Copies of this chain bind each other. A is one copy, B any other.
Amino acid sequence: MPITTTSSSTKKLLFRQLFEKDSSTYTYLLADVSHPQKPALLIDPVDKTVDRDLSLIKELGLKLIYAMNTHVHADHVTGTGLIKSKVSGVKSIISKASGSKADLLIEPGDKVSFGDLFLEVRATPGHTLGCVTYVTGDGPDQPQPRMAFTGDTLLIRGCGRTDFQGGSSQQLYNSVHSQIFTLPKDTFIYPAHDYRGFTVSTVGEEMLYNPRLTKDEETFEGIMKNLNLSYPKMMDVAVPANMVCGLQDPISKA
């Protein structure tokens, strides 16, 4: 009975999209509000907006259990370390392939559970070597349509750059086509950034209208090679910090 499951699962998930203007970053809050503890997680929190996010979580009566990243960001400092210093019991999460420190290093196929809901981990390298896409679970008790948190792998009508951090346009192309465009067409795409004011897209829409990823692989690689992007302002600060949850480890500094 797909109709019934859709509705019951929609009622379980509390979902909030939050925006950080300076870096145009989206942070996502998800919680299972049917579960007595209302366990919650944050995807791609930004250091500057940690207080906003934690105050919202408190007001909503949620218990934050995970602060996770889709990848090592080069344009902002992650809030995961700061969150851990402010809320006890929160665990940071990033992919093992990122080479970063975190409490939990996840791998493709892992599940990140919060209450009765979960996210699947899909490896989507190309923007960075360690990029993952988190996708809400497949199953009658999970949100319908599904939601994919694509980081910078797939943006709305765009994609992340592939010219540093172990990036590869060939890998990004294959990641999107094999790991994201194979999801149901009504799957929502929630990226880590948008610079034009879009908040969401769908797999079906990007398969039809993404100006880069609708091209064949060779054309795509040509596009990515000729972007001529400038060096990211924050990169030399953000990347080393983000390798350790946004907080330089006092021991390794000494």
A residues with a Cβ closer than 8 A to B are 3-4, 6-8, 10-11, 16-21, 49, 52, 56, 59-60, 196-200, 205, 208-209
Closest CB in chain B relative to A67 CB, distance in Å: 17
**Residue of B at shortest CB range from A186?**
B11
- Knowing that A16-B200, A56-B198 are A-B contacts, what are 4 other residue pairs whose CB atoms are under 8 Å apart, sorted by A's residue number? A3-B4, A6-B7, A19-B199, A21-B197
Contact B17 A49 (CB under 8 A): no
Find chain B residues with CB under 8 A from A8 CB.
3
Residue from the list B3, B16, B208 in contact with A199, Cβ < 8 A: B16
Q: Indicate whether A197 sits within 8 Å of B18 (C-beta atoms), given known contacts A60-B205, A205-B60, A209-B59.
A: yes
Closest CB in chain B relative to A2 CB, distance in Å: 8
Find chain B residues with CB under 8 A from A49 CB.
197
Contact A197 B20 (CB under 8 A): yes
Find chain B residues with CB under 8 A from A6 CB.
7, 10-11
